[in-house]
Structure 1
Amino acid sequence: MAPLPATPSNRTLTGMERAAAIMLALGETHGAPLWAQLDELEVRELSAAMSTLGPVDPGVVEDLLVNFVGSMSSTSGLVGNVDSTERLLTQLLPKERVNQIMEEIRGPAGRTMWEKLSNVQEQVLASYLKNEYPQTVAVVLSRLRAEQAARVLAIFPDDFALDVVRRMLAMESVQKDILERIEQTLRSEFMSGLSQSSKQDPHEQMAEIFNSFDRQTEARFLSKLEEAAKESADRIKQLMFTFDDLGKLDSAGVQTLLRDAPRDKLAVALKGASQTMRDFFMGNMSSRASKMLLDDIEAMGPVRLRDVDEAQSILVNLAKDLAASGQISIVKSKGEDELVY
């Protein structure tokens, strides 16, 4: 393997990069007393800098460690990356703490707990926070982006939201130990549970894929799967949400759906639907609106099955979006269990 190219000796390192290079050069034996003096935030920031440092020229290392020039004069440089950082931290810190730090460095959801929260859906975050003490919720929301905090507040019951707002207005600087306890609670209770719950059942994932098929492709795959693994095929069919499942919406739900549904797509979707589904939708419309829709359906003539599938899929996806935002509730194909999006 070819050696890594060294950085120029005149490379300008930031203060945090200089500290990272020194800690990497000191290693476990000489660095342990220094690590023990750092607080949680300093460890995270220094670890992040170490993981992205890259190759460092030997001359730069020697300049940084001038007090150790005798022992460092023969050094061949060092490389700061994620793996070397984790190896060093493992020798110095408890495993749980190392895992937390490295998760923040590697994780796509953000380097800090607060950045991770910014990637959580507001409905999910609000469901968790509504069971917490209002003062804790006020601290959490004060650390989020204004637009995200606003969306979470809008989901809370009015009295609870108002209490939180008042506490945010009266809030002074939060003590470091209190903030750290809240972060630890969020990490151990909320983010950990969220990570476990986000592991999707493969049957659920496949049901979503089948929902995206056109009718002929769906039938072909289900037929083959029933021959090879009937139990899995039955499970997928139970989990699939189809156009006919819209018939299980309550009156308020279907009216919400009709309010947002494109009229032309609704007409095409019902053109290829059963009479039961036509009656269901039109029964939730005014007499004038249902007559206009029926006229549109009768006037369009023959419609390709592919266009019907596409229009029905649009309505199904719209229903899922409305369910995800908490505006309607929908149920599965063959059961009474509510789908939570």
Structure 2
Amino acid sequence: MNPLRAEQSKQISDLDRAAILLLSMGEENAACIIKKLGRNEVRALSERMAKIANVTQDDVATILTDFFDQYRTESGVSGASRVYLERALDKAVGRKLARGMLDDIYGGALADDVRRLEWVPAELLVRFMEQEHIQMQALILAFLPAEQASTILGLFPAQKHDDILFRIANMREVSEHVIEDLRYTLERCIEYVGEQVGARINGVQQVADIMNRYSGNKSEVMELLKKHDIAMADAIEDKMYDFYSLSRQSEDVLNQLLTDIPDELWVTALKGADVALTESILAVLPKRLAQVYRQQIETMKPQPVRKVEAARAEIMTIVKQMMAAGRLEYRLYPEETVG
């Protein structure tokens, strides 16, 4: 290396050198590296990458040359990836032992997945977690950094704090199927955050959600929407077939649905549902039968969110099929009557 060039390169800070290196390798490669860094490191690098200026081509060439020189010196035989070790150890000692060994080596199977939540604002994360069972809330907090977990806990109602902390304190080992549920929940959380803070808006779905909870004259509003665009109004009505719409049905409709749809599907679908919705559905049943439903719902162990959502979606699919066959008069919104 040119001695003058080497001297000039020393004037560039390590943070600047890292920022220049990341900017030089493209978005995809840079993202792979950033995922391995901590929150503070990512913040410092991001701020530097955004502000860096007056970097010459010679500076970039020198930094890249230094990097590859150091790489050639230190690389040798690289360590095995987790995927490689997992496959090898699975064959050698079995899946369960292999997972335990690798979790010790790599700091837990969920470390990288949960790390993404460090960037989610606490208020937004709480809004998502409030929709989850308290055991899942405790599980998420158990895997987050203590400082972030404490901030999030403080945003929950005070009467829940001891229950959540007690559940965390009693955690010793998380089974594989629970880990899969947690991964699924994390993906839904990331998707939820993207919908809340991103620029994408599903206007039809949003209007359907608004109409499902609209306290005014739904029939009149829908008729006005049809004057604007019939196809759009039909799409909105189609989206309004959510589980919440069951609360607007007549006693005859609910009785028909409770008769035609299997009991176990109802019990799963009503697990964790809004109390008012559950009561409006069970109110049409004889008292003894309604009590049986309530006992089954209460005694059922915590269910994966995806299983409950699947049960609710299946019920609404049956509703649509019955309507299409002319067997059911399902009201998406209260209609005006005369008489």
TM-score band by shorter chain is 0.3 to 0.5
- The higher-RCO structure (CA 8 Å, 6+ apart) is 2
- Larger Rg belongs to: 1
Give the TM-score taking structure 1 as reference length.
0.33
